Amino acid sequence: MIARSGKGYAISYNNFSSGITSIAVPVKNEGGDIIAAIELIGPEQRIQPSSAHKYVKMMLEAAIELEKSFYKKY
Give the domain extent around 16: 10-73
What is the arithmetic mean of pLDDT over 6-31? 88
Q: Residues 5-23: what's their mean pLDDT? A: 85
Q: How many domains does the chain have?
A: 1
- Residue 20 covered by a domain: yes
pLDDT of residue 1: 41
Arithmetic mean of pLDDT, 4-32: 86
| 19-65 per-position pLDDT tens digit | 999 999 999 998 889 999 999 999 998 998 888 899 999 999 999 99
- DSSP letter at 9? -
Which CATH number goes with the domain that contains 52? 3.30.450.40
pTM: 0.81
Q: What Å distances lie between residue 37 and 2, 18, 19, CA to CA? A: 18, 23, 22
Residue 40 belongs to a domain: yes
35 with 66: CB under 8 angstroms? no
What pLDDT was estimated at residue 27?
94
Q: Judge whether 26 lies within some domain.
A: yes
Asked if the structure places residue 48 within a domain, the reply is yes
How many CB atoms within 10 Å of residue 43? 11
> Domain for residue 3, yes or no?
no
